[in-house]
Amino acid sequence: MAVNKVLPDYMMKNVILVLSLWLCGVSGCAQSSDQSKKTAAAEVNSMEKVEKSDEEWKKILTPEQYYVLRQQGTEAAFTGDYYHQKAKGTYVCAACGNELFSSVAKYNSGTGWPSFYEPITESKVGTEKDRSYGMVRTEVHCAKCGGHLGHIFDDGPRPTGLRYCINSVSLDFVANPDVAK
């Protein structure tokens, strides 16, 4: 009898989490056990894919959000709500709430869009080649719902040298004065 026929999905995720943590401990991972458990549990919970029809997305997103997040559009430079934002907190996907970027990694690139040198974790965003408008770029999308966020370039500051150039309209902001990377 197959394991996934016996255990419900939520229990299977816990089994996978426990096995992953055990393997991490056996292989001598550098993180502490408590931190590993928190990180792994958060990844399992936060990365359940969100799938909706176009009609469902149109009901929950504004027309501008739909254009950017679902149709790979771009908002006009220097017009977004978060371009000049300096508050501490977390930037989340406007479509699904996936935590994407920390204000700690935000910087002024002068490009007209909010820019970050790294996501909260690499698993929060996905990338793929974008050959639109006669250019070759790397698109950044939300790993949870697939929403288009912007593009990534290799002209950013240290420590990564990357610039995640993100549309404000694809983000929501959760203020937190105690935010840490």
101-150 pLDDT, tens digit each: 999 999 999 999 999 999 999 999 999 998 988 889 999 999 999 999 99
CA diameter of the chain: 59
Domain ranges for the chain: 3-46, 54-175
Instruction: Determine the pLDDT at residue 180.
Output: 66
Distance of CA 22 to the CA centre of its chain: 27
State whether residue 150 is helix, strand or coil.
Answer: strand
pLDDT, average across residues 145-171: 97
Instruction: Determine the pLDDT at residue 43.
Output: 52
Model confidence at 100: pLDDT above 70: yes
Inter-CA distances, 179 with 53, 121, 176, Å: 34, 15, 5
Identify whether the C-beta of residue 164 lies closer than 8 Å to the C-beta of residue 87. no
CATH fourth-level superfamily of 54-175? Peptide methionine sulfoxide reductase. (2.170.150.20)
- DSSP secondary structure letter of residue 122: G
Model confidence at 20: pLDDT above 90: no
Identify whether 159 is preceded by a cis peptide bond (ω within 30 of 0): yes
Inter-CA distances, 5 with 1, 8, 48, Å: 7, 7, 20
Instruction: Determine the pLDDT at residue 122.
Output: 94
Averaged pLDDT of the chain: 81
Model confidence at 66: pLDDT above 70: yes
pLDDT band at 67 (very low <50, low <70, confident <90, very high): very high
- Report the range of poorest mean pLDDT among 20-29, 77-86, 124-133: 20-29
47 Cβ contact list (under 8 Å, min separation 6):
123, 143, 144
**Residue 165: active-site member:** yes
Instruction: Determine the pLDDT at residue 14.
Output: 42
Q: Of the listed 93, 96, 145, 165, which one is catalytic?
A: 165
Check residues 130 and 168 and name the one with the higher pLDDT: 168
